Amino acid sequence: MPVFVGLLTTELIIPEAASLKDKRQALRSLLTRMPSKLKVAVAEIDQLDSHQRACIATATVSNTKAHVHSILMAASQFIESEPRITVQSETVEIM
């Protein structure tokens, strides 16, 4: 049986964050809601000490490439719907 792993890497800007506490508050909301709504794994992976920048990785696994792609696109839309966050760039990889 084939197994496909998908990774969405998203560079974010949190324009209203004046401190790491502000940034983490905005990210915490996103990082706790995504797994329960979309059944994905998500974590902050870079820009940990920057007040207004973050990089998160979202991962999923499925037996079809199309399903992996649709889950990652739903994750992308979910991230973009967060009003406190602006998406600077994103990269999708399916292996």
CA distance 78 to 21: 22
When divided into structural domains, the chain yields a total of 1
pLDDT digits (tens, 9 = 90+) for 31-81: 999 999 999 999 999 999 998 999 999 999 999 999 999 999 999 999 999
CATH code of the domain covering residue 79 = 3.30.70.1120
**Residue 73: predicted pLDDT:** 97
User: In the predicted model, is pLDDT for residue 92 greater than 90?
Assistant: yes
- Residue 67: which of 89, 43, 94, 41 has the closest Cα? 94
User: In the predicted model, is pLDDT for residue 1 greater than 90?
Assistant: no
**Residue 14: predicted pLDDT:** 96
> Which structural domain range is residue 49 located in?
4-94
Vertex 13 angle, CA 8 and 19, to 5°: 125
85 three-class SS: coil
**Residue 88: predicted pLDDT:** 97
